[in-house]
């Protein structure tokens, strides 16, 4: 195996000197699973010894929580899950374990990796410091609506006649239509994939930012489209409208030209002030988005997320 023995940091005895590191073997996995089945989770150092594993308790805990635990979900994050991550991260920042509590079956490690590899990558490409106001604006004004659109598309394709309208309710939270969504509901009573209850799942937007999706006008395209509106004006925001459309033939793949200037005029640093926007969202097959802002076009590729 490629794993190596390691010397313990404190070097107190021979047992510790034989501690293993690196990838886990099948045998180690089954030892750990068996031992947890007998004794339950917790007391990881004891568990490691009981199981006869030459691993630290920490390592055992990590292996169990991030990989072996039976209810762990595999596969790509769904748009719903991505949306929830964005929303919760805007609330709590890098509190990965807290965020993970609201995504049953997903681990903090997985969410952290998602954030670093996808979201922060986008930020880098846009020359935005992740976590900055501009970045938060970009997340809220572009990525979240796009994910909502994906959700809507999934919803309408899986349940043909049900409502595909996503509405804001009076508390400025977002109610998603019922559909065949996997279990991202924050309620942990269900461990199986369920149709989630939109009474339980709301996305909270700041007061000045409401959003809803409307049915597209039918003559534009027969592809799924939506219009998202963020109607509240910001007091000291100028009149520049930023809006999406989809001149599909634009094949410039860089995103550095994305113009976030209209978002940088906020006066308060800790609100998620979103300017008055009126943007048409129309997906292309390649899922590449073009932002039109004051005559400049640039591409916003959400598949990377």
Partner DNA sequence: AAAAGACTCAACCGCGGAGAC
Partner DNA sequence: CGTCTCCGCGGTTGAGTCTTT
Which residues contact DNA by CB under 7 A? 2-3, 6, 9, 20-24, 42-46, 55, 57-59, 61-63, 66-67, 94-98, 108-110, 112-114, 116-118, 121
Nearest distance from C-beta of residue 291 to DNA, angstroms: 20
Nearer to DNA, 118 or 140 (CB): 118
Nearest distance from C-beta of residue 35 to DNA, angstroms: 13
Nearer to DNA, 24 or 237 (CB): 24
Q: For residue 171, give the nearest of 221, 136, 207 by alpha carbon.
A: 207
Nearest distance from C-beta of residue 293 to DNA, angstroms: 24
Nearest distance from C-beta of residue 216 to DNA, angstroms: 30
Nearer to DNA, 88 or 281 (CB): 88
Nearer to DNA, 94 or 280 (CB): 94
Nearest distance from C-beta of residue 182 to DNA, angstroms: 17
Nearer to DNA, 12 or 189 (CB): 12
Nearest distance from C-beta of residue 272 to DNA, angstroms: 20
Nearer to DNA, 38 or 220 (CB): 38
């Amino acid at each position: 195996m490629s794993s190596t023995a390691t010397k313990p940091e404190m070097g107190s005895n021979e047992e510790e000197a034989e501690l293993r590191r690196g990838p886990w073997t099948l045998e180690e996995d089954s030892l750990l699973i068996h031992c947890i089945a007998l004794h339950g989770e917790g007391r990881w150092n004891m568990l490691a010894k009981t199981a006869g594993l030459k691993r630290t308790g920490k390592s055992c805990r990590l292996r169990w929580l991030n990989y072996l635990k039976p209810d762990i979900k595999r596969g790509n994050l769904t748009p719903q899950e991505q949306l929830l991550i964005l929303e919760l991260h805007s609330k709590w920042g890098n509190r990965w374990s807290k965020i993970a509590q609201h995504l049953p079956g997903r681990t903090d490690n997985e969410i952290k990796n998602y954030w670093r590899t996808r979201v922060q990558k986008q930020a880098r490409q846009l020359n935005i410091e992740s976590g900055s106001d501009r970045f938060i604006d970009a997340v809220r004004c572009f990525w979240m609506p796009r994910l909502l659109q994906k959700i809507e598309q999934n919803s309408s394709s899986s349940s043909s006649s049900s409502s595909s309208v996503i509405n804001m309710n009076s508390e400025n939270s977002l109610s998603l239509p019922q559909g065949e969504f996997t279990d991202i509901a924050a309620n942990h009573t269900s461990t199986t994939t369920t149709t989630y209850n939109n009474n339980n799942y709301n996305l909270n937007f700041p007061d000045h930012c409401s959003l809803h999706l409307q049915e597209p006008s039918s003559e534009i395209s027969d592809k799924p489209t939506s219009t998202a509106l963020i109607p509240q004006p910001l007091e000291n925001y100028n009149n520049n409208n930023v809006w999406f459309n989809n001149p599909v033939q634009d094949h410039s793949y860089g995103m550095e030209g994305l113009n976030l200037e209209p978002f940088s005029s906020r006066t308060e640093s800790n609100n998620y002030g979103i300017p008055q926007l009126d943007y048409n969202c129309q997906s292309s097959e390649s899922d590449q988005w073009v932002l039109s802002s004051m005559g400049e076009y640039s591409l916003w590729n959400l598949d990377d997320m």
